Structure 1
Amino acid sequence: MKENTPVLDPDETDALMRSITEQIDRDTFDAEDVTTLKQMVECLGDSRGLVRLRFAQTLGDIGGTATPLLVDALLHHANPVVRRAAGKTLALIIDPTTVPSLLHALLNDEDTVVKGSAVGALAKMGAASVPALLEILADPIRSESTKGHAAWALGFIGADAAPFLEDAIKSDSIDVRCATVGAIAHLVQEKGDARAAQMLLETLQDRDPNVRSEAASAIGKMAYLPALPYLITALGDIDGEVRRTAAVSLGKLGDRSAIPHLQAALNDSLEPVRVLAKLAISKIESGIGNKE
C-alpha cells in the first residue's frame, strides 16, 4: 500500500467542501489542481456518510482528471473506506477504461464491500464489462461468491449485453449459461426482444438441469405467458429440481389451463414437487398467481 495524503479533520473537510462548492458555483474550480483532487479523494474516508457522498458526487461530476486518482485509491489505498467509496465514485463517472482496474479490485481486494463497489461499477460500464464478466463465470478457479457478483452484473447490464448473449448461451460452461439466462430474461423484459424470448424458451431444453431450472425460474419471475406450454413440458422433466421450479413458475403465470397438468403432478415421485404443484393450483384458482 502506498503512503497516503494526511487525512483532514472534520472542520478542515467541511471547509474544503465549502471552498470547492463556492468555486464550482463561480465557475472558477480548477479541475487540473491535483493537490485539491487528492484531498477530495482522501475525504472519501470521512467518518460521516453524507460527507463521503458529497465528495463522491462532486468527484463524479469532475470525472476526467479525477479518474486516475480514484483508480489509484481503489487499487492501493490503505483505508478500505476510501477504496469502497472510490469504486462507487467510478460508477458515477462510467469510464470504460477503468474496467481492468475494477476487475482487479473485484478479484483481489480482501474487503467484501470493496468487491461489491467494484462490481457495481463494472455493471454501470455496460457492454465494456461483459467479456470480462463472462470470463469470470467460465473460470473454474473463481469462487461462487465472485461468480455470483459477475452474474448479478451481467443481469444488470441487460440490453447492452445483447451482442454477447447468443454466443454465451452456447458456452461449454454451465455457470456462463446459467448467468446468461438471467441476462436474456432482462432483455425480454426491457425490450420485448423476440429473439431473446426464443433463446429463453430454448434454454428450457438445455442439456444441464441447472440451466433448465434457472430458465424456468426466470420465466416465472417475469410472468412470461408465451412460455406456458414450455413450462408444462418442463413439469415432466427428468430432473426433480426442474419439475419443482416449473410448478412454482406455473403458479406465478396464473393460467388456468395449467391446472390439469399440475393436478397430474400431485402424483409426482418427489414430495416437494407435489407440495408446490398443490400450492400452484391454489394460487391459480384464487387468481393471485399473475398478480405477484
Structure 2
Amino acid sequence: MSDLPSLSVNGQSQQLNEDEASELAKELKQQLRNGEVPAADGESIERMVAGLGDPRGLMRLTFAESLGVVGKAAVPSLCRALAEHESVTVRRAAAKTLTLIEDPRALPVLQKALLQDPDPVVQGSAVGAMAAVGEEAIDGMLEILINPSSTAMQLGLASWGLAFVGARAPEALRKAATSEHAEIRCAAIAALGDQIQALGDDAARELVENALTDAETDVRAEAATLLGKLHSPDWAVPRLEPLLSDPQGQVRKNAALSLMKLQAEGSIANLSQQLEREQQADVKAVLQLAINQLDQDG
C-alpha cells in the first residue's frame, strides 16, 4: 500500500448538540430525497462527521448515508475520525461509512484501526471497509496474517476479508495460495471455495489439490476442511481418504469430518481401518463419529 497517495488525518473535530444534529439531519434527509448531493466543503463534511457521534441510531444513519453520497471528499475527515476520535461510536460509524465510499486512500488508516483500535467492532468494521475496496486491500490483509503481534480475532478478520476480496480478485488470491508464508497459504486456501464452487475455477482446484500435500500441517488441514464444503464428492472423496493416514492428527480429523459431511458411505471401510490403528484418543472419537453418522446415512 506504499504507493497510495498520503492522506493527512490531522485537524480539529467539530461538535454538535442534539438540536443542531436534528436540524442538520432534517436538511440532509430532504437533500437525499431530492437526489441532491450534500455540500462537500470542509466545514459541512466536518459537521456530518460530528453527527456520527449522535446517540440516536437513525440520526447516525442519516449522516453516514450523506457522507457516503459526498464520497471521496469526505475520506480525509472520516479517516481522521477513525484514527483519532475519542468516541468509540464515532470510530465505529466512520469505519462503516468508509465501507460505502471504497476509497483505497483509506487503506493505511483502516489497517491501523484493525491492528490498534481496542474496540472489536471498530476492528471488524475496518476490515469490512478494507474488503469493500477490493484487490488493493489484499496486501494489507496479508501483512496482518504474517504479523506475529496479530491477535486471533485480527487473524480471523483478515482471513474473512481475504475471502471476501478473493471473489473479486481471483488472480490475487491464487497468488496468495502459493505464498512462502504458511499463514497466507492457509488463509488463501480457505478462501478458494467460492471460486471453485461458483466459478468452476480449475486453477483454484489445482491449488487445493497441491495444498493436500503441503509441508505445513495447517495448510493440509485447511485443504481437507475445504473439500468437505464443496459438495463435489466424486472429486473430493478420493483425495480425502489418503489423508486419514496423514502423520498429523489434525489433518486426519479434518479428513474424517469432511468425509462425513460429504456423506461418503463408501469410505466407511477406510475410516474403520484407520480407527483400528489410530493411537490418538481425540482422533479416534472423530473417526467413530464419522463412521456412526455414515452408517445412519446409509
Deviation by residue 1:26-59 (Cα, 9 ceiling, x = unmatched) = 4555432332221111111111223222321222
Aligned to 1:120: 128
1:276 matched to 2:290 = no
Aligned to 2:254: 245
Instruction: Give the stretch that moved more between structures: 82-91 or 140-149.
Output: 140-149
In 2: Cα distance, 1:28 partner to 1:256 partner: 61
2:52 is paired with a residue of what secondary structure?
Answer: helix
Taking only aligned residues, the RMSD between alpha carbons, in angstroms, comes to: 2.1
1:281 is paired with a residue of what secondary structure?
Answer: helix
Aligned match for 2:72, one of 50, 56, 64: 64
Any unmatched runs of 5+ in structure 1?
none
2:16 is paired with a residue of what secondary structure?
Answer: coil
Aligned to 2:4: none
Deviation at 1:255, TM superposition (A): 2.1
Any unmatched runs of 5+ in structure 2?
1-9
In 2: Cα distance, 1:224 partner to 1:155 partner: 20
- Kept after mapping to 1: 8 A contact 2:79/2:109: yes
In 1: Cα distance, 2:154 partner to 2:30 partner: 42
Instruction: Give the stretch that moved more between structures: 278-287 or 227-236.
Output: 278-287
- Kept after mapping to 2: 8 A contact 1:157/1:183: no
Instruction: Give the stretch that moved more between structures: 136-145 or 223-232.
Output: 136-145
Aligned to 1:13: 21
Code of the aligned partner of 1:39:
R
Aligned to 2:208: 200
Q: Would the alpha carbon gap of residues 243 and 137 (structure 1) be closer, same or farther in structure 2, given more than 3 Å must change? A: same
Code of the aligned partner of 1:276:
V
Q: Alignment length, in residue pairs?
A: 287
In 1: Cα distance, 2:32 partner to 2:149 partner: 47
1:221 is paired with a residue of what secondary structure?
Answer: coil
In 2: Cα distance, 1:158 partner to 1:165 partner: 5
In 1: Cα distance, 2:107 partner to 2:198 partner: 25
1:212 matched to 2:220 = yes
Q: Would the alpha carbon gap of residues 209 and 24 (structure 1) be closer, same or farther in structure 2, given more than 3 Å must change? A: closer
Q: Would the alpha carbon gap of residues 275 and 3 (structure 1) be closer, same or farther in structure 2, given more than 3 Å must change? A: same
Aligned to 1:137: 145
1:23 matched to 2:31 = yes
1:264 matched to 2:273 = yes
Deviation at 1:220, TM superposition (A): 1.5
Q: Would the alpha carbon gap of residues 237 and 5 (structure 1) be closer, same or farther in structure 2, given more than 3 Å must change? A: same
